[in-house]
């Protein structure tokens, strides 16, 4: 079971990075945290393609390595991961969790909302991927990838 967990986690991790950064469309990335049905739909579409990406890589790893993984574990693990990903990617939810955990200042690092935000040579806010929001988002996803891998390997 240990080797299965390790292989499943690696497949989910790679699927996550590919799905979150290469498969996700620009529209989904810009809209998924927005209000109303447009935001919910964009987030749902992102999570669907992300989960499909993870599923394809996971099936490939399971078949090539001959791992014994049950369908119930796969469905439950990918389902848990998808729900947790959707929850965080609606953005206000993760921002609220950061607030509750007293991480708002870290959450805002690298954005114009932070008092020491990065600026361009002209003194305007500089856009950067190195934000606290991104770090908290990705660490949240890694936590749930671990849970999903445990469920898939154990069920």
pTM of the full structure: 0.87
Quick check: 15 and 56 in contact, CB under 8 A?
Answer: yes
What is each CA distance from 23 to 1, 16, 18, 130, in whole angstroms? 30, 10, 6, 20
Strand partners, 125: 119
Residue 141: which domain range?
Answer: 2-154
In this prediction, residue 117 has a pLDDT band, given cuts at 50, 70 and 90, of: low
Q: State mean pLDDT over 83-102.
A: 95
Q: Is the pLDDT of residue 89 over 90?
A: yes
pLDDT, one tens digit per residue, over 43-85 is 999 999 999 999 999 999 999 999 999 999 999 999 999 999 9
Q: Domain count for the chain, please give it.
A: 1
Q: What is the DSSP letter of 112?
A: T
In this prediction, residue 120 has a pLDDT band, given cuts at 50, 70 and 90, of: confident
Q: Hey, how many other C-beta atoms are within 10 angstroms of the C-beta on 97?
A: 15
Task: State whether residue 125 is helix, strand or coil.
Answer: strand
């Amino acid at each position: 079971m240990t080797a299965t967990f390790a292989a499943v986690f690696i497949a989910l991790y790679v699927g996550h990075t590919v799905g979150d950064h290469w498969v996700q469309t620009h529209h989904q990335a810009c809209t998924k945290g927005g209000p109303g049905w447009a935001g919910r739909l964009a987030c749902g579409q992102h999570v669907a393609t992300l989960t499909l990406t993870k599923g394809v890589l996971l099936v490939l790893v399971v078949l090539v390595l001959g791992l014994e993984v049950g369908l119930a574990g796969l469905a439950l693990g990918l389902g848990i991961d998808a729900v947790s990903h959707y929850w965080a990617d609606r953005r206000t939810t993760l921002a609220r969790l950061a607030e509750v955990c007293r991480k708002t200042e870290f959450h805002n690092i690298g954005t114009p909302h932070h008092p020491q935000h990065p600026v361009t040579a002209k003194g305007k806010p500089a856009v950067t991927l190195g934000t606290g929001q991104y770090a908290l988002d990705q660490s949240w996803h890694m936590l749930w990838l671990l849970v999903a891998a445990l469920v898939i390997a154990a069920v």
